[in-house]
């Protein structure tokens, strides 16, 4: 009896996930179709670039600064013990550019921008605003989803680059104050040891994370059912799907191209 | 389309949502330039008919011809061509909450193109004056009362002088004086544009002052269609009971689910 219930629950869960993945893929196809030839409302695009990018700068900078600072704080005792202070910049830079920066900022972005995007689109869906657009012969995917997807992908890359810089600054400040490592030592430790690819890998990842956050947040927004309760569930599902996608993509990209 | 062809023709149209049958084989014709009112208990399929005519829903069975085009099975692009000739007021307004009142009304004209910004501004100002909303141009829709939202929706539905206008509860939530003003406005508009009109309303008395004929829907079927002026004395006892609001009669099993 318990075994039977377990099978039913697992089957229902798998079916729901397959349905959601399928829905996200269909929406992705619609977005790509709307891009050839490009049919983008410039006003919507600029509005979303500003809203999703500019307004995220303070929280991203704050998080990145402390993430960089914490790395040195944690590594400090070992660096001192082995007399490897000249490698502090390399170690923190390697971790920040390749892993911590892209993933941390993507998770922050998902929580702030992705959740907000799902809530907005879901509210528009339940109040028939998407039908309102269709009634005016306007494709809601081209008008609402495409500018948001582009804005999220572009802005996550920009924010990741900015966050990388701020995280390295945070690491340098803590290294200077706690380990007495000069700013110049940190700087040369980073530029002499890190390759451009270390930065580019983070950029590749942020493009993939941006696409995952954009597609899941838009899908759960437009596929919502029900009223306010449905909106809450959609936001929750979008945040969970984004976080899971970020982790999976991070593993895949590191495994496939991160060597 | 020949002169004698109906503007709208539904032939044996059926529609289900899940296991719930909403329309059970409706056939209906509406002549060009005429005004038809749809009445019936909640969940009798009135709003669904409007959505089928606007191409926002697809029939499970039957034919839906609107302005000379068969809509069943058509792609969004093809449906869009028909929708450009239709104005629609949604039951829940479906106003775009990211736009001001002025831009909501201007939106259909901006998207269709072919009008200068000056002409659009003049037309929008005239529409807003007509629905008594001059001075509210720069408000966001979230700042408006339900009645004001309804009037913005009417202004948006009629701004482009569409060939076919669909009103879903145009006066719900409005006081009797405003209700009469709105119907006078809609009648004057229709007399000017000669548009075909379908209006769904629960306010049968006010609706009867606006439309030529009224059709009564019950449990997904078209039960009666006759002149609006004599609807209270219709030969069908179900229609009489509904219009008079009597508790006793053949409509005792009126379903209470929301449509």
Q: Residue B64's pLDDT is what?
A: 96
Q: Residue B116's pLDDT is what?
A: 93
Asked whether residue B119 carries a pLDDT value surpassing 70, the answer given is: yes
Q: Please name the residues in contact with B251: beta carbons below 8 A apart, sequence gap of 6 or more.
A: B41, B218, B238, B241, B242
Instruction: Count CA atoms closer than 13 A to B57's CA, side-chain side.
Output: 21
B95/A129 touch (CB, cutoff 8 Å), yes or no: yes
User: Could you tell me where the DSSP H helices lie in chain B?
Assistant: 46-53, 76-83, 101-112, 117-130, 146-158, 176-193, 204-208, 237-244
Q: Residue B2's pLDDT is what?
A: 47
Domains of chain A, residue spans: 40-257
B83/A137 touch (CB, cutoff 8 Å), yes or no: yes
Q: Residue A130's pLDDT is what?
A: 93
Looking at the complex, report in whole angstroms how far the Cα of residue B71 sits from the nearest Cα belonging to chain A.
14
Q: What is the tens place of the pLDDT at every residue in B167-194?
A: 999 988 788 888 888 899 899 989 999 9
> Could you tell me which residues are beta bridge partners of residue B15?
B23
B92/A139 touch (CB, cutoff 8 Å), yes or no: no
Q: Which of B90, B91, B94 to mutate to test the interface with A (most CBs of A within 10 A)?
A: B94
> Strand B8-17 relative to strand B35-39: parallel, antiparallel, unpaired?
unpaired
What are the residues of chain B with a beta carbon less than 8 Å away from any beta carbon of chain A?
A: 51, 54, 56, 76, 79-81, 83-84, 86, 88, 90-97, 107-108, 111-112
CA nearest to A207, candidates A156, A171, A146: A156
Distance CA(B228)–CA(B206), nearest Å, equals 10
Q: Residue B3's pLDDT is what?
A: 53
Q: Residue A259's pLDDT is what?
A: 64
pTM listed for this prediction: 0.84
3-state SS assignment for residue B114: coil
Looking at the complex, report in whole angstroms how far the Cα of residue A128 sits from the nearest Cα belonging to chain B.
5
The kind and range of the H/E element at A255 are helix A228-257
Q: Residue B259's pLDDT is what?
A: 41
Rg (CA), chain B: 18
CA nearest to A136, candidates B84, B158, B50, B99: B84
Q: Residue B4's pLDDT is what?
A: 67
Q: Residue A41's pLDDT is what?
A: 85
> Tokens 């696409």, residue?
A211
Q: What is the tens place of the pLDDT at every residue in A61-99?
A: 999 999 999 989 888 888 888 888 888 889 889 999 999
Residues of A in contact with B167 (CB under 8 A): none
- Mean pLDDT, chain A, as a whole number? 92
Do A85 and A186 contact (CB within 8 A), yes or no? no
Asked whether residue B77 carries a pLDDT value surpassing 90, the answer given is: no
What is the chain B residue with the closest CA to A123?
Answer: B97
Q: What is the tens place of the pLDDT at every residue in B80-100?
A: 999 999 999 998 889 998 899
A127/B51 touch (CB, cutoff 8 Å), yes or no: no
């Amino acid at each position: 009896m318990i075994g039977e219930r377990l099978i039913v629950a697992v089957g229902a869960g798998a079916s729901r996930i397959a349905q959601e993945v399928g829905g996200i893929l269909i929406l992705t196809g619609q977005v790509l179709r709307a891009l050839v030839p490009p049919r983008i409302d410039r006003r919507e695009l600029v509005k979303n670039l500003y809203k999703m990018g500019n307004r995220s700068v303070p929280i991203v900078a704050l998080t990145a600064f402390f993430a960089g600072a914490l790395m040195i704080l944690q590594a400090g005792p070992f660096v001192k013990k082995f007399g490897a202070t000249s490698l502090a910049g390399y170690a923190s830079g390697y971790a920040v550019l390749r892993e911590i920066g892209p993933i941390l900022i993507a998770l922050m972005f998902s929580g702030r921008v992705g959740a907000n995007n799902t809530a907005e689109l879901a509210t528009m869906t339940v109040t028939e605003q998407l039908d309102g657009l269709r009634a005016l012969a306007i494709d809601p995917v081209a008008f609402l989803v495409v500018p948001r997807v582009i804005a999220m992908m572009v802005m996550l890359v920009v924010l990741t680059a900015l966050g990388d810089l701020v995280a390295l600054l945070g690491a340098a400040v803590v290294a200077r104050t706690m380990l007495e490592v000069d700013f110049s030592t940190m700087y040369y430790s980073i530029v002499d040891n890190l390759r451009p690819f270390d930065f580019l890998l983070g950029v590749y990842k942020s493009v993939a994370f941006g696409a995952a956050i954009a597609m899941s947040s838009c899908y759960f927004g437009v596929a919502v059912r029900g009223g306010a309760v449905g909106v809450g569930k959609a936001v929750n599902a979008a945040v969970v799907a984004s976080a899971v996608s970020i982790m999976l993509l991070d593993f895949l990209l590191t495994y496939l191209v991160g060597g | 389309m020949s002169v004698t062809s109906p503007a709208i023709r539904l032939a044996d149209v059926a529609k289900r949502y899940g296991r719930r049958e909403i329309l059970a084989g409706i056939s209906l014709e509406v002549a060009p330039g005429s005004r038809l009112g749809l009445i019936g208990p909640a969940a009798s399929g009135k709003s669904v008919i409007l959505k089928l005519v606007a191409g926002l829903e697809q029939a499970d069975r039957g034919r839906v011809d609107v302005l000379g085009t068969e809509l069943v099975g058509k792609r969004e692009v093809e449906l869009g061509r028909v929708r450009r000739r239709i104005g629609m007021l949604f039951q829940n307004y479906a106003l775009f909450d990211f736009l001001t009142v002025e831009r909501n009304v201007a939106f259909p004209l901006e998207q269709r193109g072919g009008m200068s910004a000056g002409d659009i501004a003049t037309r929008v100002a005239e529409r807003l004056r007509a629905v008594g909303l001059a001075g509210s141009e720069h408000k966001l829709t979230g700042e408006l009362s339900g009645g004001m939202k309804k009037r913005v929706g009417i202004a948006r539905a009629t701004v482009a002088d569409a060939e076919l206008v669909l009103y879903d509860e145009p006066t719900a939530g409005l006081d009797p004086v405003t209700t009469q003003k709105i119907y006078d406005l809609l009648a004057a508009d229709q007399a000017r544009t000669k548009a075909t009109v379908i209006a769904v309303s629960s306010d049968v008395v006010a609706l009867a002052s606006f439309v030529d004929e009224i059709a009564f829907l019950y449990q997904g079927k078209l039960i009666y269609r006759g002149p609006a002026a004599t609807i209270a004395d219709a030969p069908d006892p179900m229609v009489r009971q509904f219009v008079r609001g009597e508790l006793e009669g053949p409509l005792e099993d009126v379903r209470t689910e929301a449509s």
